[in-house]
Amino acid sequence: MNQHKNIVIASGNPGKIKEIQAILKDYPIIPQSEFGVSEAEETGTTFVENAIIKARHAAEHANMAAIADDSGLVVDALQGEPGVISARYAGTRATDEENLRKVLRNLEGVPEDQRTARFICVIVLMRRQHDPMPIIAQGVWEGRILEQSFGENGFGYDPIFWVPEYQCASAELEPQVKNTLSHRGKALKMLTELFNHRAAQ
């Protein structure tokens, strides 16, 4: 990625923007809101489809390279829910708190060893609206769902996601620690490696 060329990020989620800017701190990442770009309608049925839809939409309206991620929580005992609708699991305008409370309600009575879950993140970089070969990277973070919320850091489902490596909830991790472990951190690392490999060819 050209370190001097602006890249628009296709997101209106402040927590997500902050994480991506922190991990890609060598690159000028600008939120799409600064260009007056609206949120794209996520009509895909997979993380990959939605990330491409969002990146293409931002690239078109900002007229520059765009990066978009689509991510979510996949809970085994809920047959993969909330999945691609993680941000709107409890309704179109649901808050983070409402979404995670719905997960906890749906898991009531499920024993600890059956509460396995993972965060999944797919990140797409499109150099222009009609980029025929976008760079696609993904990351997975394995854990399980707690029975109540812990911690004040992070966003989304972080307060109920147990991190085995640190024996705590994701929301109890310092941001810089989370960024080395998380699905988004892994996907962004892969994205950078893929881009640098392609640039070197």
Which two structure tokens, joined as six digits, stand for 43? Answer: 């009509």
Query: Does the annotation mark 158 as catalytic?
Result: no
SS3 (DSSP) at 92: coil
DSSP letter for 181, please: H
Structure tokens at 196: 């640098």
Helix (H/G/I), strand (E/B), else coil: 26: coil
Q: For residue 178, give the 3-state DSSP assignment.
A: helix
Q: Residue 84 has which token pair?
A: 């691609």
Is residue 155 within 8 A of residue 95, CB to CB? The reply is no
CA distance 15 to 17: 6
The dihedral region occupied by 75, where left means phi > 0, alpha psi between -120 and 50, and beta the remainder, is beta
> Residue 188 in contact with residue 137, Cβ under 8 Å?
yes
Contact 76, 118 (CB under 8 A): no
Q: Which of 26, 69, 70, 113 is catalytic?
A: 70
How far apart (Å, rounded) are the C-alpha atoms in residues 14 and 12?
6
Q: Which residues are catalytic?
A: 70
